[in-house]
Amino acid sequence: MKSEIEKLRDTVEELELSSLLFDQSMRRGTEYYHAKHPENKRVWPDYGELACWLMEEIVALETTARVRENEMRLIKEWFEKHDANMEIHNGSVFLFSGV
């Protein structure tokens, strides 16, 4: 059975690890925030603001990804319907008919 001192030491160790993890995640989140808002390099958002902003950023990125997937599906359907093909070489798009 652990003594009271051992339990307290375990608690302190857990708090130190939690604090380190919190600091690291805040640093990464703030770096991402600064990359997206270079004009606010001197702004250090608090935890609540940063967490909300990061969650909003996730939603925006997921929405953009879904829109792009839908656009690509529509483009593919158009090409299939018109028996056309598309190739990309060195950043240039080439369209040609299968006829």
Domain count, the chain: 2
Question: What average pLDDT does range 8-37 have in this prediction?
Answer: 96
Task: Give yes or no: residues 56 and 94 share one domain.
Answer: yes
Task: Give yes or no: residues 32 and 50 share one domain.
Answer: no
Name the phi and psi angles at 83, rounded to 5.
50, 50
Range of the domain at 67: 45-99
Tell how strand 84-89 and strand 92-97 pair up. antiparallel
Task: Give yes or no: residues 67 and 34 share one domain.
Answer: no
CA distance 55 to 21: 18
Task: Give yes or no: residues 49 and 97 share one domain.
Answer: yes
For the stretch 56-81, pLDDT in tens is 999 999 999 999 889 888 888 887 78
Task: Give yes or no: residues 15 and 62 share one domain.
Answer: no
Task: Give yes or no: residues 52 and 89 share one domain.
Answer: yes
Decide which of 92 and 32 is more confident.
32
Per-residue pLDDT, 99: 52
**One-letter identity of residue 29:** G
Task: Give yes or no: residues 50 and 86 share one domain.
Answer: yes
For the stretch 37-50, pLDDT in tens is 999 999 999 999 99
